Amino acid sequence: MPGSLAAGTVTGERFGEERMMAVTLRFGSDDALRCRFAISPLWETHAALYTLRDATEAHHLPWVRRARAALADVDLSPLYAVLPVRGYTPDFVAPPPAGPAETFDAELARVRESAPDVAARELARSLDRPGDPEAARAAPDLLADVPATISRLATLLDSVWRAAVEPDWPRLRGLLQADIAYRAAMLADHGLARLLDDLHPRLSYADGVLTFAAHWGHDRHLDGAGLLLMPSAFLGDRIATGFPPPWQPTLVYPVRGAATLWRPADRPDEPLARLLGRGRGRVLVALSEPATTTALAHRLRLAPATVSAHLAVLRSAGLVTADRHRHEVRYRQTSLADALIASCATG
């Protein structure tokens, strides 16, 4: 299923002995120069719906319980009908973002502006699932008035974002940004081939061709468009790609550290807490992955001003450094902090 989490996004281990096919992305001479990263709040909302419905990853259960309660009065069945676990998902519902850090509202505006003829074609393809009662029930209603369906699906996506994803977006965005920083460093140190091979065990890159096994086939020449790379916290162990023309070629891969998202903030070891104070110790330990002041405050349930004060002290002591990424500043532990934390843990 090109362009969706369910088609081609599920890796081979989930399908056991089923016959597997190849998804192939072919790089031209300029495509390696046009690979880039992006974060998409709309995609995270799209992917979160699968987690909300199926809850197959145990580490997301704390979020699932909160999200289901927040959306208890919202009928999500029209969205679920076009987001099948197996099958094609309409690309207009969650298109690749137009920029590296597009806002949810901007992305949703593009969904609302979808061309009715394109949406009709994609909806018909998605709902053509023989033997699927969910699709059979939904098809007459969703296909009868496509402009109304576009508006209806966009409104539901907005409800899911506002109630279930936006409250945790600082934490989610911080994790996604940390992953991109890690991948960018890998690209600088080891090159594109190493970066692509490292995104997922099922991915293989050689001689300008990126491939992985899936239960569906897809073969695309990038033709100078490059490849958009997006980490996702709700993707599980899967890969999402496809997006046939005219969509931007995109590969969505699982973010590093998703299993830690909903854990209580780490507590510093007692020697570290005595040395730095418990508050500063918590902030330092929490920076095992780079994060912004806002993301840290959200994770640690502290006031941003308190976190900022702790970061200033830690930075002056050489335990934390800061890197600017566009309009945001991300903090991370230094090698001195690594040594200090390790010493306190064993001391």
Domain limits, the chain: 12-258, 264-346
b/e for 151-188, b at 16 or more Cβ within 10 A? Answer: eebbebbbbbbebbbebbbbbbbbbbbbbbbbbeeebe
Other Cβ atoms less than 10 A from the Cβ of 200: the count is 17
pLDDT per position as a tens digit, 113-171: 999 999 999 999 999 999 899 999 999 999 999 999 999 999 999 999 999 999 999 88
Q: Which CATH class, in words, describes the domain spanning 264-346? A: mainly alpha
The answer to whether residues 202 and 6 touch, using CB atoms and an 8 Å cutoff, is: no
Rounded CA-CA distance 219/130 in Å is 25
For residue 133, whether the previous peptide bond is cis, meaning omega lies within 30 degrees of 0, is no
Residuewise pLDDT in 10s, the chain (347 residues): 344 443 333 323 333 334 567 888 999 888 988 999 999 999 999 999 999 998 777 788 889 999 999 999 999 999 999 998 777 889 999 899 988 889 999 999 999 999 999 999 999 999 999 989 999 999 999 999 999 999 999 999 999 999 999 999 988 998 898 888 888 888 888 888 889 988 888 888 888 988 887 766 778 889 888 999 999 999 888 888 877 777 889 999 999 878 777 865 556 667 888 889 989 999 998 887 778 898 889 888 899 999 999 999 999 999 998 887 667 788 888 878 877 876 776 55
The answer to whether residues 38 and 235 touch, using CB atoms and an 8 Å cutoff, is: no
- Alpha-carbon dihedral 295, 298, 301, 305, rounded to 10 degrees: 60
Rounded CA-CA distance 229/196 in Å is 9
Q: What is the largest CA-CA distance in the chain?
A: 69
The distance from CA 182 to its chain's CA centroid, rounded to whole angstroms, is 15
Where does residue 17 fall: left (phi above 0), alpha (psi -120 to 50 degrees), or beta otherwise? alpha
Supply the DSSP string of 143-181, one letter for each residue. HH-HHHHHHHHHHHHHHHIIIIIGGGHHHHHHHHHHHHH
Q: Considering only CA atoms, which of 296, 38, 334 is closest in space to residue 180?
A: 38
Reading the block at residue 212, the tokens are 């992985």
The three-state secondary structure class of 89 is coil
